Structure 1
Amino acid sequence: MAGGVLKPVNIFRLKSLGEPKEVFNWRIWFAVVSFGLLGAARGVDEGLISGAFNSKEFKRLIHYHSYDKVKQANIKANVSAMVQIGSVVGALIAFMICDRVGRVWATRQLCLVWIVGIAIFMGSNGNLGAIYSGRFIAGIGVGQTPVVGPVFLSEVAPASIRGICTCIFTGFVYLGTVLAYFANYGCQVHIDDTTPARWQLPISLHLLFAGVILVLSLFQPESPRYLIKCGRRDDALAVMSRLRNLPPDHEYVVREFNAIAVSHEQELESTRGAGFLGVLRELFLERSNLYCLHLAMLAQILSQWSGAGSIALYASDLFSMLGVTGQRASLFVTAIFGLVKLASAMVCALFLVDFIGRKRSLLLGISLQAVAMIYVAGFLTGVPQLGVVAGYKLQSSELGPSKGAIAMIYISGLGWALGWNSMQYLLTAELFPLRIRALSTSLAMTFHFANQYGNSRAVPNMLLPLANGGISPSGTFWCFAAVTILGGLWVLFGVPETAGRSLESMDRLFALPWYKIGRYGNADALLRDREYIEKQREEETDEAMKSYDPHLEHAMRRT
């Protein structure tokens, strides 16, 4: 069985970092899938909420048509974005829960919160207050998923496939989106639009995913890095042995375990102060940690305001605006859009992120996204009536460019999946030291949802004509294009390559002055790796071998 598992893994991992073949076993992939499914929480919500507003029964329940256009835009934005508001709270408290009860128990409690919130939403009977409350509570659970999931995955995965394992979380975002889109389409086709089942049945996907994740978590061990952090070294070694499918005294397990343990001891020794105050000081006063925090925060701003997240949330409306006629056709085209993003995310996870590296994959995705946004913005500038004049019919000369704009929405989804949507989770999860990993990831994801809320809340109003206080559809996409280009420049000069490095050696990327890290940080870190390995060889003592990092020497061989 092990041999059968290994063959595809060898294709996808970042060359060879010297891991024994037993490391790539069913236990590690079972853990990856179990926690990767947490990504579906955000994808399901993004795909479902627009479908609810396409239901006549849902609109009737909330008396949607009794309001003017501006009020309708505000209600739609509030209902859609309420999960993001709750997610800000969820992401903010996630680090405390992760560090207090562990990654596995954090997963169980967030699933319960998620289920309670969706149950309130489904039982709201059209009461806007209950709808807002239910989606806010669900958001508290959903907001913890991008903290708990990527942190656990990065902590259990071998270095050579850490990118693949963490990006599977992103892939499940799109799995949730695709299932949500097709659930909306199927219910639109087969269920009477005047019955509550038309919008409640798709919404029940939330309950399905939350229940499956909750059950799978019952069969998962705690992260060995978290157990070391709690001082439970015997338990950590046992879990490490189980996940690597090697005996506890195997050389690979001992070296990886000791590297983590010694790194954590060094973190504790260098921490300024004790307890939570010491963690805050370490995060904000250590130069390398502060630079990592800047990377994580700015990645959230630039990714969210590049517009791709809003396109996913309001996809069916945008396709209708660009010339797709009919509600069923719009929902079907939106479902295909979800499939394109899912396939792109899988390509990124399996072939790009650990093969060509994080930075190249991110720049490729941003380039595709920028081209798409510029085209759509130009098309809407040339046909300013779209999205502004109700019932506007495209002229024959405009049909070709309209199809091009629809294709560019697909291209933007492809670029988003290859770039920002994978990297914003992966970089955040792997940059920070163990002692502050949960806190820093929590802060980054709080920023993520705050910006996602601001963007998703603003877009319906941004799309309004200038006379109604918006900036028009064309102005909205020109804004997205400008932010995307700015993000590409920042990645080029500010983000170092992290592929193939162990979590315990990330700090070597940030030894140079800040303005050199993006261009020269990885090369400088490899030189420091060489010096570190040579020093270990010269000392050749038991104490030195305790802190030996088995991945560094193989990283040197790649150069």
Structure 2
Amino acid sequence: MGVLNWKAALADTPKEILNFRLFWSVAVFGILGAARGFDEGGVGSMVSMASFSSEFNINHGTATQIANRTSNITSMVQLGSIGGALLAFVLLDWIGRVRSLQVLCILYASGFAIVVGSFGNLGQLLAGRCIAGLGVGMTTVVGPTYLVEVAPKAIRGMLTNIFAGAVYMGVMIAYFANWGCSLHISSKNRAQWVVPQSVNLMFAGIVLLLSLTVPETPRYLIMKGKDEKALVALCNLRQLPADHHLIQAEILDVREQLEREKESSRGTSVWGKFRELVLIPANRYRFMLGVMSQILAQWSGASSITVYAANFFAELGKTGQNEKLFASCILGVVKFCSAYLTAFFIIDFFGRRRTLYSGIILQTLAVIYVAIYLKEVPPSLFNSKKFVPNPSQKHAGTGAIAAIYISGVGWAMGWNSFQYLINAEIYPLRLRALGSSIVMCFHFCNQYGNTKAVPSMLIAMHNYGFFIFCAVVCVMGLAWVWFFVPETSGKSLEAMDALFELPWHQIGRHGKELTSRIGSHMDDIGFSEKSGQDIEQCEVKKSELL
């Protein structure tokens, strides 16, 4: 399929499937990504505000003490998110995707209500951010799981990555909220930092109300034995009659996959599912993809730049409070636009692998440039009032700021889009909630460690050393993608099994080619408009192909 070839991608998709009901449900769960973005974009600027610093006595003590205090505040949501990701697994399979969304909204709002009411009590502030983190951690499992289960296969990447794009919608709004309050509210007024944090409360309330208007996923309903409700929900989402061959084929595929999983399962308990995840080779490979994508993504530097954007822009010469906050706003706009351009025009039509390659290469080149600039023009020079940069240093500094923006484009195209999508679409239905939850625990463990470590790393490694470290991780990521990451665009969720049943050394580099014939035949098996085939016939044909 050619790049951006929409017509070919949607050739087998009836126009009724692309309907308002589907897009509304996707929008409600997709916007969940903004919850994480509000915090990532807001907390770094919040701790740099004079009103916040004076209320919580942030800048008291040695440089190391200040760095530790700052990292404790910024990383507390990530710490809570680890528990939130695990809680999501329990709730997703227990009460469903929609009810889980409602629970996370309540946790999220409660935490930030405690934060804005802390009034200088650092312990209360940390506790509130940890509770809010439970809700934020749940969003990264609940959102992508719902999206991948309701999306048609032809545009699954696009619809699932609405979540990834919403992360940077939240980042952008948080940056602008902090910048606006810094401009128009006195630094002696605690409202300067409280107003931007209040956005979280409004967002949680809006999403909670919208959750009352969306249906549960058909796949979850089938898993719970509610086949009639599942058929109604699927017809509602696809806007097709119950006897349409695509509706019948999709229902049949989900039932078949569940039957195969039950036959090969090692039990229905959590421990039994965990053993399935780590002991069955195909599932273990899936798990490896999820874990490694989180490790390599989090330590590539982009998340650190998002959280500590104001600090990094100060090191590149944007020393004024409003100036560095405005530069952060531009970074938010760049990442927001890049994320949605990737979702709508690239990820499904350019392919997962090629999009990820392109994003990592852009990010690598950008951080290498920033490292070279910081080595040649160290930030300490800007602290001297006598320092006047020469024309070449000015141009190089402008290039370094542009490189930060380019790294944001690369991150939005590459790791940011990939880490949510691949984690949601590769697991079997029975293991989707468990696999996604554990992998997102790794995500937040790494993000917590990253956010906590960066202030100390900048002191120990110097600024340029930190960016060199990020460049090395990016290069390692490129090598890992080349060998291990398969192309999954255009495959139905149920057809993923054929891909991961290949020998492990063939899945990444040759998986798409080796399973393309199987995938196309499997999609045709099931029900056709001319003649129906029962489950046994389907199984025979699939086994012959495999």
1:289 corresponds to which of 283, 292, 301: 283
- Which stretches in structure 2 are left out of the alignment for 5+ residues? none
Greater shift, 483-492 or 59-68, is seen at 59-68
Could you report, residue by residue, the CA deviation over 1:521-547 in whole angstroms, capped at 9, with x for unpaired residues?
11111143366579889x974335667
1:512 aligned counterpart, secondary structure: coil
SS at match of 2:187: coil
Residue in structure 2 matched with residue 498 of structure 1 by the alignment: 488
Q: Which of 128, 131, 137 is matched with 1:137 structurally?
A: 131
1:363-378 paired onto structure 2 within 5 Å: 363-378=357-372
Write the distance in 1 (CA, Å) between the matches of 2:36 and 2:61.
Answer: 29
* Selected match of 2:228 from 234, 245, 252: 234
- Given that 1:511 and 1:521 are in contact with CA atoms closer than 8 Å, whether structure 2 keeps it comes out as no
In structure 2, the CA distance between the partners of 1:138 and 1:86, relative to structure 1 (3 Å rule), is same
| Alignment map for 1:219-258 (pairs within 5 Å) | 219-258=213-252
What do the CA deviations read for 1:74-116 (whole angstroms, capped 9, x no partner)?
1111100000000011012211111100000000000000111
Q: Distance in 2 between matches of 1:543 and 1:192?
A: 69
Out of 504, 508, 523, the residue aligned to residue 513 of structure 2 is: 523
Q: Is the 8 A contact 2:85 2:437 kept in 1?
A: yes
1:259 touches 1:549 (CA, 8 Å); kept in 2?
no
Pair 1:107-2:101 in alignment = yes
**Matched residue, 1:7:** none
**Residue 399 (structure 1) aligned to one of 394, 402, 407:** 394
User: What is the alpha-carbon distance in structure 2 between the residues aligned to residue 409 and residue 437 of structure 1?
Assistant: 35
**Paired residue type of 1:433:** P
Q: Which residue of 2 aligns with 1:171?
A: 165
1:329-478 alignment, distance < 5 Å: 329-386=323-380, 393=387, 395-396=389-390, 397-464=392-459, 470-478=460-468
Distance 2:73 2:243 in 1: 54
Deviations 1:246-290 (A, max 9, x none): 121222111111111111111111112333233122211211110
Distance 2:453 2:363 in 1: 20
Residue equivalent to 1:319: 313
Alpha-carbon separation, structure 2, partners of 1:549 and 1:13: 29
Aligned to 1:467: none
More moved, 488-497 vs 384-393:
384-393
Which of these residues, 495, 509, 519, is aligned with residue 499 of structure 2? 509
Are the equivalent residues in 1 in contact too, given 2:256–2:535 (CA < 8 A)?
A: no
Kept in 2: contact 1:14–1:354 (CA 8 A): no
Contact 2:315–2:379 (CA<8 Å) still a contact in 1?
no
Q: Is the 8 A contact 2:316 2:379 kept in 1?
A: no
2:478 corresponds to 1:488: yes
C-alpha distance in 2, partners of 1:107/1:185?
30
Q: Distance in 1 between matches of 2:234 and 2:8?
A: 21
CA distance in 1, matches of 2:110, 2:523: 52
Select the residue among 11, 18, 23 that pairs with 2:17. Answer: 23
Kindly provide the CA deviation profile for residues 483-514 of structure 1, in whole angstroms up to 9, marking residues without a partner as x. 01100110011100000000001121123322
Query: What amino acid is aligned across from residue 445 of structure 1 in structure 2?
Result: M
1:202 aligns with 2:196: yes
Q: Does 1:118 pair with 2:118?
A: no
1:485–1:238: structure 2 CA closer, same or farther, 3 Å change rule?
same
Shift of 1:295: 0.4
Q: Is the 8 A contact 1:13 1:160 kept in 2?
A: no
| 1:540–1:548 CA distance, 2 compared to 1 (3 A) | farther
Letter in 2 for 1:158: P
Q: Indicate conservation of the 8 Å contact 1:13/1:161, yes or no.
A: no
In 2, Cα distance between equivalents of 1:305 and 1:13:
38
Q: Matched residues in 2 for 1:529 and 1:258: separation? A: 16
Task: Specify which of 35, 42, 51 is matched with residue 36 of structure 2.
Answer: 42
- More moved, 75-84 vs 47-56: 47-56
Task: Give the drift of 1:429.
Answer: 0.2
Q: Percent identity?
A: 45
CA distance in 2, matches of 1:323, 1:354: 39
* Counterpart position of 1:479: 469
Q: Which residue identity does 2:195 align to in structure 1?
A: L
CA distance in 2 between counterparts of 1:452 and 1:156 reads: 29
Aligned twin of 2:122: 128
Residue 145 of structure 2 is matched in structure 1 by 151
TM-score under structure 1 normalisation? 0.92
1:91 aligned partner: 85
- Corresponding position of 2:534: 542
Whether the aligned pair in 2 keeps the contact of 1:150 and 1:426 (CA below 8 Å) is: yes
AA in 1 matched with 2:479:
L
Letter in 2 for 1:444: V
Contact 1:12 1:354 in 2 (8 A): no
* Matched-pair contact (CA < 8 Å) for 2:525–2:538: no
The Cα RMSD (Å) is: 2.3
For residue 395 of structure 1, report the CA deviation from its aligned partner. 2.2
Q: Distance in 2 between matches of 1:518 and 1:392?
A: 55
Give the letter aligned to residue 495 of structure 1: V
Give, in angstroms, the shift of residue 515 of structure 1.
2.1
CA shift digits 1:113-132 (9 cap, x unpaired):
01111011111111111111
Letter in 1 for 2:418: M
How much has 1:384 moved relative to structure 2? 3.3
Counterpart-to-counterpart distance in 2, 1:205 and 1:535: 49
